[in-house]
A and B are shown apart, each in its own frame.
Chain A
Amino acid sequence: MSSIIPQISVGLSIASILLLIALGLAIIYGTMGVINLAHGEFVMLGAYAVWFLQTFLGIGLIAGLVLVFLLVGFVGWLVELTLIRRLYDRPLDTILATWGVGVILQQAVRLGAGAELRYVKMPDFLVNPVHVMGYEESAYRIFIFVLAVALLLATYFLIFRTEFGLRLRAVTQNRDIARCFGINAARIYSLTFAYGAGLAGVAGALVSPLKSVSPDMGTNYVVDAFMVVVVGGVQSLLGTVASSYLIGQANGVLAFLSNDTMAKAVVFLGMVVLIRLFPQGLFAMRLRRS
């Protein structure tokens, strides 16, 4: 019985990382319908950006987060401007194009920064664990959890409480009509893409001290991100939250009961079944009614 609380916290911790990684993709995929296979590489760029800031400019992880967001967002903005924009009517080609962008980014980092693993320092005050309800918890994992929730709230606010969000939702529902009302759809799209990419960058920066930083780290994250978004339902922020929680807990519990190899296999199997039963994802239908 004593293992229930630590178990929940393990699940929450995995879930918060999943949410962090998937949030940017949920925005790009959910609102713009762009299947962005370069998402993992944006995560990787974020990790390298924070490594660069730390090693060469002496800017710490937390202080650098805003810069990382702007830097990776800018890369996203460029990608949208030069490539994605020209492919909005050809979704299949977008998949191939973004995959190509991913390969280019990965190799560029390999050439520029080298193939070796890079070291990102954890902020000093977060290295040691803290006591919560009688249990030792990693301070850094709690920090990640808090930031994941904060970013979720910020994104929610942006989409549902600002004028930009209103326009974005209008363009999402019907681009042509929205344009008739004088909304600059192209601008909305490029800003949204940049925002999603920036979020991915922040996610990469945040996981870098806990995991490892290498040019091909994005490959795993892009799979996780798509898994979360597809299960949750493409157009629903709530769905993204719910599915990252679900997958995180399932992963945690299964890994505890058997092992990580098994957990991964079972979670993937569960997803296949789930998508078969709910092709739109868990939350898509309910959202439409409201």
Chain B
Amino acid sequence: MGLDRRKFLKGTAAIGAATAAGFPQIWIKNSGLAYAAGEIKVGVLYSLTGTTAIIETSLNQATLMAIDEINAAGGINGAKVVPVVEDPASDPATFAQKARKLVVGDRCVSVFGSYTSASRKAVLPVFEKYNNLYWYPTLYEGRECSKNVIYTGAVPNQQQKDFVPWLVKNFGKKFYLIGSNYIYPKEENNVCKILLKELGGEVVGEEYVPLGHSEFSSVISKFKETRPDVIFSTVVGDSVVALHRQYKAAGLDPKKMPMASLTTSEEEIAAMGGEFAAGHFTSAPYFMSYDSPENHKFVEAFQKRWGKGKTTNFVSEPAYFQVHLFKQAVEKLGKKDLTPPAIREAAWGQEYKAPEGLVKIDPDNSHTYLWPKIGEAQTNGQFKIIEQSKEWVKPLPYWAYPGQVCTPEGLQQKKA
């Protein structure tokens, strides 16, 4: 043995010292490193297993497709985008753990991820601690203003500001609010109630059912009792399917008492059958049936890549376009420091021709300007778009809380 214990110890100590000296430099100056091997690492954090796997798989697929498109067109500034895919298994604790791995272990400069608010809240501390950047594609309840998140989904003012007045005008002022029992429906209903008050509307019932609830006969007999003009629904998941089926079986008529939803997408309609969804309304910035060259291209590419019968929806579309916005931000930075805070600043004001229309990241609050639309569900499982916003709508995550405003520096209290 040529290598004795003393030499070995010396050797490892030297390596250790070298790493210790070299490491902080790499760490502080994230520059160079990202391009070192001609590649830019990004994290992809959507559940592929567990309760929300179905919808999150479509987000994962939309993200990977966008990354492929970017790489096929030569990457960003000559560097290839390398996705690091992790499966957080629909569990918030696992989300946090995987996020830490992507940020610290893989040194990703951004992570695309999350469907539920619970999982986003779980990863926030990780991104804030390491000052990294999270891109969140889902419509959500607003009331959040993190420096380390770019929000590309709709917030309540974008989904409801046109929708509620339209419903009042076309159907009437009596609303019944029904939702699943967690934060998202409650915040959305707060916004709805404010809008209704302005319009002189009336809430004849407000009710929250447990997640996964499937027996709606009591709820339906309350519909019959209170006779609302509109049933405003923020029920989520498989409860949506049960509610629509039992609504029709009980003889209620969408022409007289339509359900107006913020959460029913093409995916839920496929599971309940088009005849049960027909005549009900959803407000969202994107529908699969939207007629634009960008959307035709998106749907076609998605089905070609992931299977013929696949549907795109109002969550997978932002998951797709946000990757392109990321690309533009990095492009703008050129070969300069590629750090998450720099990407964030470069992302502000970026515009992209998304399938739903031209979108822009709002420099005021890191949310996104979107194009709200109202769709009527058809028996074939698609939506017919009947109303469309004439201009993009500015995101206002604190719309329902007049004293508070989201700024690039974080949440500020406005002085009245």
Asked if A119 contacts B222 (CB within 8 A), the reply is no
Asked if B272 contacts A122 (CB within 8 A), the reply is no
Q: Which residues of B contact A78 (CB under 8 A)?
A: none
Given contacts A136-B250, A138-B251, A259-B208, is CB(A117)–CB(B241) below 8 Å?
yes
Asked if A122 contacts B217 (CB within 8 A), the reply is no
Is A66 an interface residue, CB under 8 A from the partner?
no
Q: Which residues of B contact A216 (CB under 8 A)?
A: 51
Asked if B251 contacts A115 (CB within 8 A), the reply is no
Given contacts A211-B214, A260-B213, is CB(A129)–CB(B273) below 8 Å?
no
Tell me the nearest residue of chain B to A254, going by C-beta: B218
Asked if B218 contacts A255 (CB within 8 A), the reply is yes
Q: Which residues of B contact A217 (CB under 8 A)?
A: 238
B312 vs chain A, min Cβ distance (A): 15
Is A273 an interface residue, CB under 8 A from the partner?
no
Asked if B54 contacts A116 (CB within 8 A), the reply is yes
Asked if A140 contacts B249 (CB within 8 A), the reply is yes
Tell me the nearest residue of chain A to B51, going by C-beta: A216
Q: Which residues of A contact B210 (CB under 8 A)?
A: 260-261, 264
Number of contact residues on A: which range applies? 35 or more
Stretch of A7-15, A89-97, A98-106 that contacts chain B = A7-15
Chain A residues 1-34 with CB under 8 Å of chain B are: 3, 6-7, 10, 13-14, 17
Is A251 an interface residue, CB under 8 A from the partner?
yes
Q: Which residues of A contact B270 (CB under 8 A)?
A: 117, 119
A126 to B248, CA, bound (A): 11
Asked if B217 contacts A14 (CB within 8 A), the reply is yes
B47 vs chain A, min Cβ distance (A): 11
Tell me the nearest residue of chain B to A216, going by C-beta: B51
Chain A residues 98-141 with CB under 8 Å of chain B are: 115-119, 121-122, 126-129, 136-141
Asked if B209 contacts A10 (CB within 8 A), the reply is no
Asked if A115 contacts B53 (CB within 8 A), the reply is yes
Number of contact residues on B: which range applies? 35 or more
Asked if A3 contacts B221 (CB within 8 A), the reply is yes
Cβ-neighbour of A6 out of B209, B215, B224 (below 8 A): B224
A6 to B218, CA, bound (A): 10
Given contacts A212-B214, A252-B217, is CB(A260)–CB(B273) below 8 Å?
no
Is B143 an interface residue, CB under 8 A from the partner?
no
Is B301 an interface residue, CB under 8 A from the partner?
no
Is A263 an interface residue, CB under 8 A from the partner?
yes
Asked if B221 contacts A259 (CB within 8 A), the reply is no
Is B384 an interface residue, CB under 8 A from the partner?
no
Asked if A212 contacts B271 (CB within 8 A), the reply is yes
Is A160 an interface residue, CB under 8 A from the partner?
no
Tell me the nearest residue of chain B to A13, going by C-beta: B217
Given contacts A116-B271, A117-B238, is CB(A122)–CB(B249) below 8 Å?
yes
Given contacts A117-B238, A129-B249, is CB(A220)–CB(B214) below 8 Å?
yes
A99 to B201, CA, bound (A): 51
Is B207 an interface residue, CB under 8 A from the partner?
yes
Chain B residues 117-161 with CB under 8 Å of chain A are: none
Asked if B221 contacts A128 (CB within 8 A), the reply is no
Is B219 an interface residue, CB under 8 A from the partner?
yes
Q: Which residues of B contact A156 (CB under 8 A)?
A: none
Q: Which residues of B contact A129 (CB under 8 A)?
A: 249-251
Asked if A210 contacts B218 (CB within 8 A), the reply is no
Query: 4 tightest CB-CB pairs across the interface, nearest first?
Result: A129-B251, A255-B218, A117-B271, A212-B238
Q: Mind listing 13 A-B residue pairs with CB under 8 Å?
A: A7-B221, A116-B54, A126-B249, A137-B251, A138-B249, A138-B250, A209-B245, A211-B241, A212-B241, A216-B51, A217-B238, A260-B209, A260-B219
